[in-house]
Structure 1
Amino acid sequence: MPKTLTWLTPFSWLTLVALAGLGLGGCKILPTPVAQSENSASAFNPDKMVEDIWAPKVIPYLRQKAGPFAEVHALAKTDPAAAGAKYGNPRKQANSPWTFAVRVEGKIVAANTQSRAATMDVDVDGDDKADARVQIGPAIRGTALRDSLDFVQFNDFTNQIDFAQFGKAFNAYAGKTVLSKLPREALEGRTAKVIGAYTIEGGQDLPLVTPAEAEIGPKP
């Protein structure tokens, strides 16, 4: 015998729909603690990273590694690998140029403070001719400070963008904490003492040094 089909009245259909709506309405979608934790862990703050390592690691490393500019540059021009092993970062990327830690001490013989990428030219051997050009910002070119450190490696970063931002963060921190405090007027004739880093690159008039520490003496 065929089964009897039970037909729902329109009222019954409405009742079922209402009950289903009540059930769904009582549900809430909440973020899980795991998702929140992953978002926090993935946050990348290069400025904070540089601030955290600047005093305990960056400055002591550069003070220990840096050599007198004239000595470093003479060796770098004749044997970059030997200079790099002594004054540079031996763990650099294979295709990257050597970056050297240096001490620049001498007389300021010229300065360009009209540009945001301000510089001062320093004579280190007493012949009244510039031997090194020191960046004093606020705009700073290159990533010499980052690249001189043997405890900073590209493989420690998620991608090239993060690595580049980390390099810029060194310049920003040096600019904010060191270079912004330097005098800008009547620099010629004053003495300068700098600890920083530079990379030999083609087409430069003078080696371009990025300071991590800098001091300018009084007017003569």
Structure 2
Amino acid sequence: MLNKLTWPIPAVPILVAMVGIGLTACKILPTPSAENGGNAPAFNADKMVGDIWAAKVVPYLQQKAGPFPEVHALAKADPAAAGAKYGNPKKQANSPWTFAVRLEGKVVAANTQSRAATMDVDADGDGKADARVQIGPAMRGTALRDSLDFIQFNDFTNQIDFAQFGKAFNTYADKTVLSKLPRETLEGRSVRVVGAYAVGSGQDLPLVTPAEAEIGPKP
């Protein structure tokens, strides 16, 4: 008598069926956000800057800033020493030094026709410009953010939020300080600024972004 052959029952269809049942029971839920009613608050760079400006940013810069001629001379001779004294020692390793400065002098040239308005300031009395001050409304760079040792990249979710936060400093400075400055006949006027500038900003002159600024009367 021939033995009856018994073939094993394939397990694959059963496995496929089980997987199918599992997938049918799953639901893909969207990540909670402020837009869809979730609990995660929306990122608001402008509000964040406004919340710390008077309480932390301005007092920090007032305390940290050195006279511009002194800071700039040391920065050219020994950037690391200048950074330790007037910069942010907690900066990212590959980022340039950013220095907090107190700049006083006279305006020797001004460009107020552009949205990226600036004024060139003579800080040592020789009649030549030593620094260029941004007076907005459009401003380059993130010097104000980068000069603060209590602001760290790792505190932010991603690079986009960190970049928006940096731009928000410029926006707030323009709204609260720079938009109130005179724009006509600036040459010859005295100026006082507390702010920051970064090494190697691509300008012929150090490009200072103010957190505080005063312009004197016409001579």
Give runs of aligned pairs for residues 80-99 of structure 1, distance below 5 A. 80-99=79-98
Rounded to whole Å, the distance in 2 between the matches of 1:55 and 1:210 is 17
Give SS of 1:214's match. strand
Uncovered stretches (5+) of structure 1, i.e. residues with no partner:
1-34
Matched, 1:178 2:177: yes
Rounded to whole Å, the distance in 2 between the matches of 1:149 and 1:36 is 29
Aligned residues: 188
Rounded to whole Å, the distance in 2 between the matches of 1:45 and 1:39 is 16
Q: CA deviation at 1:41?
A: 2.6
RMSD, matched Cα: 1.7
Residue of structure 1 in register with 2:52 after alignment: 53
Change (3 A) 1:204 1:36: closer
Residue of structure 2 in register with 1:131 after alignment: 130
Counterpart of 1:118 in structure 2: which amino acid?
A: A
Rounded to whole Å, the distance in 1 between the matches of 2:101 and 2:38 is 40
Q: CA deviation at 1:36?
A: 7.3
Uncovered stretches (5+) of structure 2, i.e. residues with no partner:
1-31
Counterpart of 1:125 in structure 2: which amino acid?
A: D
Q: CA deviation at 1:81?
A: 0.5
Give SS of 2:139's match. coil
Rounded to whole Å, the distance in 1 between the matches of 2:136 and 2:202 is 21
Greater percentage in helix: 1
Q: CA deviation at 1:189?
A: 0.2
Give SS of 2:157's match. coil
Give SS of 2:72's match. helix
Counterpart of 1:127 in structure 2: which amino acid?
A: D
Residue of structure 1 in register with 2:192 after alignment: 193
Give SS of 2:186's match. coil
Change (3 A) 1:181 1:40: farther
Rounded to whole Å, the distance in 1 between the matches of 2:201 and 2:214 is 28
Counterpart of 1:214 in structure 2: which amino acid?
A: A
What is the TM-score normalised by the length of structure 2?
0.83
Give SS of 1:119's match. strand
Deviation >4 Å, runs of 4+: 35-38
Rounded to whole Å, the distance in 1 between the matches of 2:202 and 2:44 is 34
Matched, 1:110 2:140: no
Rg: which structure is higher? 1
Rounded to whole Å, the distance in 2 between the matches of 1:42 and 1:179 is 30
Give SS of 1:94's match. coil
Rounded to whole Å, the distance in 2 between the matches of 1:148 and 1:136 is 18
Residue of structure 1 in register with 2:144 after alignment: 145
What is the TM-score normalised by the length of structure 1?
0.82
Residue of structure 2 in register with 1:31 after alignment: none
Q: CA deviation at 1:203?
A: 3.8
Contact 2:201 2:207 in 1 (8 A): no
Q: Deviations over 1:134-185 (max 9, x none)?
A: 0000000000000000000000000000000000000000000000000000
Give runs of aligned pairs for residues 156-175 of structure 1, distance below 5 A. 156-175=155-174
Q: CA deviation at 1:204?
A: 1.7
Q: CA deviation at 1:43?
A: 1.2
Q: CA deviation at 1:200?
A: 1.2
Contact 2:107 2:120 in 1 (8 A): yes
Matched, 1:212 2:211: yes
